[in-house]
Amino acid sequence: MREVSWRRDCVQVFGRSHPIPRLHQWYGDPDSEYRWSGLTMRPEPWTATLHDLRIRVSDAVGHDFNSVLVNLYRDGGDSMGWHADDEPELGDNPTIASVSLGAERDMKLRYRQREASEASRTISLESGSLLVMAGTTQRFWQHSLPKRRRVTESRINLTFRRII
């Protein structure tokens, strides 16, 4: 937590600017610029800790990552709405490895072309967990991290990606 130079930006959603409901920072190889919701993220150089985690996660997943979005959810009031990580620079079927550290939070998943009666699914992300979203996950599914008022501790989430 102390190594990251946290920032809070605004994103464009349906033509309006909104503050991102968490703190974040983008790290990666020099050519791993990332654009989403009207925001351009130029990578900070890898810290020693993030570089070590990158190697460990790449080995565990069997995929080479060149960047990581580090998110700090300060408590249960910080959240992320429904979305898919489907930006063009991630490719058609990106592999995203998500490491959770700190407070346990629920991640919701829903099928994009769902019927009105189809329920979302919930995955509990415990501290130390590794969730891999690969194949057509980003094409057919959306995910979110809803607010949880009872959560008083912070959570760091690292989402390792490969920018093409």
Query: Strand locations in 22-153, DSSP E?
Result: 23-28, 34-36, 39-41, 67-73, 80-83, 96-102, 105-111, 121-125, 130-133, 141-145
Distance CA 159, CA 42 (A): 16
pLDDT of residue 12: 76
User: Which residue has tokens 């079927």?
Assistant: 93
SS3 138: helix
**Cβ-contact 27, 65 below 8 angstroms:** no
Q: Is the dihedral of CA 151, 152, 153, 154 positive or negative?
A: positive
**Cβ-contact 144, 71 below 8 angstroms:** no
The pTM of this model reads: 0.92
pLDDT of residue 112: 87
CATH of domain 10-161: 2.60.120.590
Angle among Cα 132, 96, 26 to the nearest 5 degrees reads: 135
pLDDT in tens, the chain (164 residues): 999 999 999 887 788 888 999 999 999 999 999 988 778 899 999 999 999 999 999 999 999 999 999 999 999 999 999 999 999 999 999 999 999 999 999 999 999 887 666 778 999 999 999 999 999 999 999 999 999 999 999 999 999 999 99
